[in-house]
Structure 1
Amino acid sequence: MASTQSLNTPLSKSQELDTAEKVTKEFEQPGLLYVRIVEARNLNHVANAKALKESQPMPYLVIEFDKNETMSWGKEPKQEEYASAGTIDFNFNTSFDVSRESDLVVTMYQKKALRGDIPVGTVRISPAFDQKEQDEWFKLLPVGSASTPLTTSVGEIRVHILFKEHPKTAVKPLGVDDFEILRVLGKGSFGKVVQVRKKDTGRVYAMKILKKASIVERDEVQHTLAERNVLAKVSHPFIVNIKFSFQTKDKLYLVLAFVNGGELFHHLQMEGRFEESRARMYAAELLSALECLHSFNIIYRDLKPENILLDYSGHIALCDFGLCKLNMKDGHTTNTFCGTPEYLAPEILLNQPYTKAVDWWTLGVLIYEMIVGLPPFYDENHSVMYERILGDELKFPDYMGTAVMDLLKKLLNRDPAQRLGANGAQELKSHPFFAEINWQKLNARKYRPAFRPEVSHAADTSNFDQEFTSEEARDSCVDPHNRLPDSQQAQFAGFSYRKTSAESMQIGSLNGRRGSLPRGSLALRREGHGLRRWEE
């Protein structure tokens, strides 16, 4: 039987940890999860005949598994049938690639004429993965928010689930021919990121394509492999994951969950700045993600709006792990000079050994930028900006609240030993700015985001830069003169991940967006606003 966790049932301490950061259970044999949404019933109080008379669209569903989602619209019923029974016939079939355990999440939305569809209800289902058919009715529960408590169910939905393993004799290694390339999402010095559709399941992913010769030429092999290994066995609700990886003699291919809400940077540009409450929720989700990385002795080192994606529901997804430093236990230091100019911590600028505390500095810069619209020490002249980072007084606008000002003063402390978070993430979680956050509820994604990106379908790229999405999408050929010699192929021997005869990866990683490529990319971060990535 499939199981479902009631969304208004408190999580135990062990459940909270398991939800926030857990070691992924890998399948001995990958397979496909077949899902059929049959129908919904008892929906009279959320949509009725009056709504139909006013020509409002039917509710629709977003079905998500392992950070990959698809959408389905209900079939129009007769008014008298809908009014009397509150039923919607979906009869929608879909399938998902399975390489690790994950929950199936079904959320119903009511379409609005204007921006901002209303979430009606949701259910989280834990499939059995025992290759036995499951056909059950599940309660739809309200989608919670910071100010709205969860109450009773708003209806029921019938879901049919069946997991089938790939036959061991039938599975062949994945290759680029197993995917249809749809759009370009981003480009950089080592390659590009494209949107793809897996031909057998129809699932949409982001595929990162890297040229081996370029990686070797810039001495980035170890960084590329380190990126591939980051979070090799971790699943986190606010971190993008990799689904598959493979390689040819010329290129490396990473297939990632496609997060279609676009970069946080894009939305910040569009709106100028965010309300403090909205910034608080983003900051809390990022804090949870960074706490997870730190618990696995990883420093992120590149937190900025460009490396944060929004999913279809408005939750954040941290991506791009190209600057991560692994094996950083408590008290350990490193010296690599890397990051983004506006976000560099003072100890990095001073070429001093640094710890995980650099991530808390960058979180402070990000919170400030979300609320104000620019980083706290920003200047178009980098030399001036570095001087300001090292010595200027932190200034706040009149509209900034007392709690967030206190938080920023403590995060942007130039002494890393005295910086908030130097003794662990709990110091931040206990700060008054996050007083209203229930961390169990947050990690279970039970809060209803204040903003939800406009997304019309699973493959929607309207939230990505048209400079790239308008380009011809293809996997270009490599010039024979620029090919990597066979003698150097062994450097990438550890890149591909194989489980039986199927290739898949269960690691957190980056997603396609401008410049989300290996270290050394010098794509402009924003007009007159420095470089996306900078190091010496």
Structure 2
Amino acid sequence: MSWKLTKKLKETHLASAIGLNSGGSSFTRGLKNSTLSSTSSRKSSDEKSRKSSEDKRSPQSTVVQPGLLQVTIIEARNLKLPSGHVPANYGVSIDNSLLAPPLSNGSGHARSRSHAWWLPYIVVEFDKNEILVDALNTASLENPCWDYQATFDVSRYSKLSLNIYLRSSSSRSRNGMGNDAFLGGIKLSPSFIVNKLTDEWVPLHGGSGELRVQMLYKPNQSTPLTIDAFELLKVVGKGSFGKVMQVRKRDTSRIYALKTMKKAHIVSRSEVDHTLAERTVLAQVNNPFIVPLKFSFQSPGKLYLVLAFVNGGELFHHLQREGCFDTYRAKFYIAELLVALECLHEFNVIYRDLKPENILLDYTGHIALCDFGLCKLNMAKTDRTNTFCGTPEYLAPELLLGHGYTKVVDWWTLGVLLYEMITGLPPFYDENINEMYRKILQDPLRFPDNIDEKAKDLLSGLLTRAPEKRLGSGGAQEIKNHPFFDDIDWKKLCAKKIQPPFKPSVESAIDTSNFDSEFTSEIPMDSVVADSHLSETVQQRFANWSYQRPTTIDTSDDINTIAPGSVIR
């Protein structure tokens, strides 16, 4: 998972080396896959009057207070095994500590559970918070029973997704989940009517049979959060500003990623604006392919972001392991990323740092875009910005030339990413960064002999050096209409009703096997910050950091099925 906090560490000569007019700014970068960033504190002189993206509203909306959604997965009936699928052998032992915790009967006592991992399991997801639950040993393959209850934190509108899988014969140690058979799934819209219990049988899509689910919504008191509300489990990322830890929220037992940042370090490196931008974007946007912000809070010395814990691994990890992807798999990821970027652009946000390290895979294989520290806010369609930032391999020509750039810069990086997925390397890659910049500006785009013709044409459009002629300069729909995506049903894709071509090996919500052991071997702790002597003026810059407020939800049909996604206020 790309919870990297080390992207702006050292000053470098890169700007002057390629003849950029830096205007007195310093430029910083880390190592090979690091991010470049201008740390200039100059303010834009273009103070145009425009509506902030925070003023946008969904056409039909209602307000739900932050609360708790209690979900009970009871049973399924009349499931059918896909033809050709060889189920896992009966009785293979597994580590019971990795299974979901037992069901509470409401009085604080846990019901004893005897799991059967060779029977269908279910992945429950609400707002990117995922749980894997094995069927009870008393059930059958066709009519499995889970009798499992989970409580989710509601901080904004989201649908509830439930997908049923059956492990294959190759899943001997629960490590071969990429081969597991999809038996069907459902997506439900909670009513959020206080204390109203819904109990229904819902037909599965993508399979046969029905699933019985109960839901109950309860508001909770919006008491200010502190670090004491979380149990620290594992360190999953670390940097100069702080670290990211896997945590369990004590009242609901849900697993999250807690990103901690030291205020003094943020201030000393002139990163206040980038940090506030990240929190602003996460709080505004609700999209199925963007990591959601659940809560944010602060202490006198630190800032905290509580995010969905997405533990299927970075796309970078999977790309490194496999070398490259087949065309359909690359197309699937690019299509979901296109929807995520379109959503950001609709909110007048430029992402600016698209790369495999900033893309995560969830339990079921869908992507989740993360790390919004380099986003540029309040960028209307024709607005330009000049900040030199990004990752060397993915920098667009207009950025290198210092001509200023618009949202169209994101389509260049999308093209670079697609090329890398299909071939294994970015199109103009060179170990010498200055030579790589020269290639980006001057070298022709070359393709391997075996590349798909439609992919070649799409890449030629996305990697057009003149931004005004680049595919996507007229909006994301231009890219969606390209023949490369002819077999993509965009409505189904946005509703996550297309099964991903790859499913990562994830054993449970607390599984950290896809993270660097350099981090996970550390003892998780919230370190004490020495008195940083931050002035009241500086502290005021973080005054609106905390996020735990009423949510505006769109009650129209298929809220998340049509890009650019829905909005949170």
Shared fold (TM-score, shorter chain, > 0.5): yes
Equivalent position SS for 1:338: coil
For residues 334 and 60 of structure 1, the distance between their equivalents in structure 2, rounded to whole angstroms, comes to 49
Tell me if structure 1 keeps the 8 A contact 2:283–2:547. Answer: no
Equivalent position SS for 2:465: coil
Matched AA of 2:65? Q
Q: Report the alpha carbon displacement of residue 325 of structure 1 after superposing the two structures with TM.
A: 0.8
Q: Report the alpha carbon displacement of residue 498 of structure 1 after superposing the two structures with TM.
A: 4.2
Q: Does 1:440 align with 2:496?
A: no
Q: Report the alpha carbon displacement of residue 172 of structure 1 after superposing the two structures with TM.
A: 2.1
For residues 61 and 235 of structure 2, the distance between their equivalents in structure 1, rounded to whole angstroms, comes to 32
Identity %: 57
2:132 is aligned to 71
Tell me if structure 2 keeps the 8 A contact 1:275–1:371. Answer: yes
1:157 is aligned to 211
Which runs of 5 or more structure 2 residues have no equivalent in the other structure? 1-56, 92-116, 171-175, 554-569
For residues 273 and 408 of structure 2, the distance between their equivalents in structure 1, rounded to whole angstroms, comes to 24
Q: Does 1:411 align with 2:465?
A: no
* 1:96-175 equivalence runs, <5 A: 96-114=152-170, 115=176, 116-130=179-193, 131-142=195-206, 153-166=207-220, 168=221, 171-175=222-226
Equivalent residue for 1:226, pick from 277, 292, 303: 277
Shift in alpha-carbon separation, 1:44–1:371, aligned structure 2, 3 A: closer
Q: For each residue in 1:349-382, what CA deviation from the matched residue of structure 2 results, as whole angstroms up to 9, or x when unmatched?
A: 1111111111011011000111111111111111
For residues 537 and 126 of structure 2, the distance between their equivalents in structure 1, rounded to whole angstroms, comes to 41
1:42 is aligned to 78
Q: Does 1:368 align with 2:419?
A: yes
Q: Report the alpha carbon displacement of residue 87 of structure 1 after superposing the two structures with TM.
A: 2.1
Instruction: Give me the TM-score of the superposition, normalised by structure 2.
Output: 0.78
For residues 226 and 52 of structure 1, the distance between their equivalents in structure 2, rounded to whole angstroms, comes to 47
Q: Report the alpha carbon displacement of residue 497 of structure 1 after superposing the two structures with TM.
A: 2.5
Q: Report the alpha carbon displacement of residue 327 of structure 1 after superposing the two structures with TM.
A: 1.0
Instruction: Give me the TM-score of the superposition, normalised by structure 1.
Output: 0.82
1:58 is aligned to 119
Q: Report the alpha carbon displacement of residue 59 of structure 1 after superposing the two structures with TM.
A: 0.8
Q: Report the alpha carbon displacement of residue 416 of structure 1 after superposing the two structures with TM.
A: 0.7
Tell me if structure 2 keeps the 8 A contact 1:22–1:235. Answer: no
Equivalent residue for 2:256, pick from 193, 205, 209: 205
Equivalent position SS for 1:106: strand
Shift in alpha-carbon separation, 1:417–1:262, aligned structure 2, 3 A: same
Tell me if structure 1 keeps the 8 A contact 2:242–2:261. Answer: yes
1:182 is aligned to 233
Shift in alpha-carbon separation, 1:222–1:430, aligned structure 2, 3 A: same
For residues 487 and 351 of structure 1, the distance between their equivalents in structure 2, rounded to whole angstroms, comes to 34
Equivalent position SS for 1:387: helix
Shift in alpha-carbon separation, 1:74–1:233, aligned structure 2, 3 A: same
Matched AA of 1:428? I
Equivalent position SS for 2:488: coil
For residues 245 and 457 of structure 2, the distance between their equivalents in structure 1, rounded to whole angstroms, comes to 42
Q: Does 1:323 align with 2:374?
A: yes
For residues 393 and 293 of structure 2, the distance between their equivalents in structure 1, rounded to whole angstroms, comes to 28
For residues 385 and 46 of structure 1, the distance between their equivalents in structure 2, rounded to whole angstroms, comes to 48
Which runs of 5 or more structure 1 residues have no equivalent in the other structure? 1-20, 143-152, 507-536
Tell me if structure 2 keeps the 8 A contact 1:27–1:100. Answer: no
Tell me if structure 2 keeps the 8 A contact 1:95–1:201. Answer: yes
Tell me if structure 2 keeps the 8 A contact 1:24–1:100. Answer: no
Tell me if structure 2 keeps the 8 A contact 1:183–1:471. Answer: yes
For residues 462 and 473 of structure 1, the distance between their equivalents in structure 2, rounded to whole angstroms, comes to 16
Shift in alpha-carbon separation, 1:189–1:91, aligned structure 2, 3 A: same
For residues 293 and 306 of structure 1, the distance between their equivalents in structure 2, rounded to whole angstroms, comes to 19
For residues 257 and 22 of structure 1, the distance between their equivalents in structure 2, rounded to whole angstroms, comes to 24
Q: Report the alpha carbon displacement of residue 60 of structure 1 after superposing the two structures with TM.
A: 0.6
Matched AA of 1:332? D
Q: Report the alpha carbon displacement of residue 494 of structure 1 after superposing the two structures with TM.
A: 1.7
Equivalent position SS for 1:367: helix
Tell me if structure 2 keeps the 8 A contact 1:497–1:505. Answer: no
Equivalent residue for 1:394, pick from 435, 445, 448: 445
Matched AA of 1:77? T
When the two structures are aligned, how many residues end up with a matched partner?
Answer: 462
